[in-house]
Structure formats: structure tokens, C-alpha cells
Amino acid sequence: MAYKKVEQYDGDTTASLIETYERALGLLGEDPQREGLLKTPERIAKAMQFMTQGYQQSSRDILNSAKFHEPISEMIIVKDIEVYSMCEHHMLPFFGKAHVAYIPNGWITGLSKIARVVDVYARRLQVQERLTTQILDAIKDALQPLGVAVVIEASHLCMMMRGVQKQNSVTTTSAFFGEFEKNETRSEFIRLIGSSLH
């Protein structure tokens, strides 16, 4: 049988959200019964559940599902991980890239698990500052590494579409632990995420 992706949504949650979004459309001056909007409340209800699925996921379980003993202590970097999240202040998207590194202390994890941990916390209502530290803390707690580093660069639609309306602004946040608190190690990480080796 061919691979088939199935998205599952809680029925009660979906129904309640549909009612909420139908009412919101009316309050905004639209007609929820207009042909083009008939299925919009259901689409939004499902989209919002998809974009906040991180609340139902465990970063520890993800990292432990592919945890291997390896006697190495060299820097491992997964860079340019796409980030899509929602600003908790306006519920507008922010998006960009995360760069994550750690120095093992006897344990490594599957490379894809690092990207999944980013998604666990990005797929919630967020602020970029907290997202950065949550990713660091998750890796630190699950792998007990010698060091962890996380840098996120993102554009925020709440700054681009409304408010100050600055189209080209980019926000950069960083968090460092352990060996990355040393200038030499941190500088090597910053140099490597800024270079094109491929």
C-alpha cells in the first residue's frame, strides 16, 4: 500500500472553533454564509490546530526516540532549520531559520530530531526569545551535553503588516550553555553558521 499522510483533528475542538470563527467573521463585517467563506471557519479551525500542535508533543520523547551512545565530543550543528511560528501577542506568523549546535557528552541524537524539537516549540503561540531558550533547554535536559547553542533569525508579520510596518527588519535571538559560553567555542559556531560549506 502506498504511503498516505493522514491528519487527525479532535472533533469537539474543531466544532467549537468553527462556531467561534463563524462568529468572528460576522463581527468583522463579513457574511459567513457567502459562498467563498462557507468552509473558511472549518479551514481556519484545522489550520490553527495544525499550527499549535506542539502543545501535544514532547521534545524529550522525540530526542530519546533516537538516542545513541557515541564517545565523541565534537561540535554537531544543524543549521538553516525552517521556523514557522505564531506571535502570541497578535497571533500573526513569524518565520525564519534556526541554527542549533551541541557538543555531546557520550550521547547523540538523530539529526532530524533536532529539527523536530524546533517544531515542537515553534508550533505553539510564541515569542522568539522564549522559543530560543526552550529549544536549548530541551536538548540540554535530554542529552546532558557539554554545551548547546541556538540562534534564531526571523521576520515577524506583526511588525511588517501592522504597527511600525517595517518590511525588512529581522530579529536575531541567541542562547548558549556550557562550552558555548566560552568565546572561542561560541565564535567557531557563529563562523560556521554564517559560512557556506556546501
Q: Domain check: are 167 and 70 in the same one?
A: yes
Q: Quick one: average pLDDT of 87-102? A: 97
Is 156 part of the annotated catalytic residue set? yes
Could you read off the pLDDT of 133-188 as tens digits, one per residue?
Answer: 999 999 999 999 999 999 999 999 999 998 888 888 999 999 999 999 999 999 99
Among 22, 87, 99, 126, which one carries the catalytic annotation?
87
Q: Domain check: are 161 and 107 in the same one?
A: yes
pLDDT confidence of residue 197: 65
Could you read off the pLDDT of 45-93 as tens digits, one per residue?
Answer: 999 999 999 999 999 999 999 999 999 999 999 999 999 999 999 999 9
Among 30, 42, 53, 90, which one carries the catalytic annotation?
90
Place 195 in a pLDDT band, splitting at 50, 70 and 90: confident
What is the span of the domain harbouring residue 20?
A: 11-51
Write out the three cell numbers for 165. 510596518
The answer to whether residues 60 and 138 touch, using CB atoms and an 8 Å cutoff, is yes
Q: Domain check: are 182 and 124 in the same one?
A: yes
Is 167 part of the annotated catalytic residue set? no
CATH code of the domain containing 45: 1.10.286.10
2 has pLDDT over 90: no
Q: How many domains does the chain have?
A: 2
Among 89, 129, 144, 181, which one carries the catalytic annotation?
89
| Strand spans (E) along the chain | 67-69, 76-87, 93-103, 107-109, 125-126, 147-156, 171-178
Q: Quick one: average pLDDT of 121-143? A: 98
Q: Domain check: are 92 and 181 in the same one?
A: yes
On average, the pLDDT of the chain sits at 95
Residue 181 falls inside a structural domain:
yes
**Euclidean distance between CA atoms 128 and 173, whole angstroms:** 7
Is 179 part of the annotated catalytic residue set? no
Is 128 part of the annotated catalytic residue set? yes
Q: What percent of the chain has pLDDT over 70?
A: 98
Among 19, 88, 129, 181, which one carries the catalytic annotation?
88
Is 158 part of the annotated catalytic residue set? yes
pLDDT confidence of residue 198: 59
Is 69 part of the annotated catalytic residue set? no
Residue 182, number of CB atoms within 10 A of its CB: 12
Place 8 in a pLDDT band, splitting at 50, 70 and 90: confident
96 has pLDDT over 70: yes
Q: Domain check: are 130 and 102 in the same one?
A: yes
Q: Domain check: are 141 and 181 in the same one?
A: yes
Report the predicted TM-score, pTM, of the whole model to 2 decimal places: 0.93
Q: Quick one: average pLDDT of 12-28? A: 97
pLDDT confidence of residue 6: 79
pLDDT confidence of residue 166: 87
Is 8 part of the annotated catalytic residue set? no
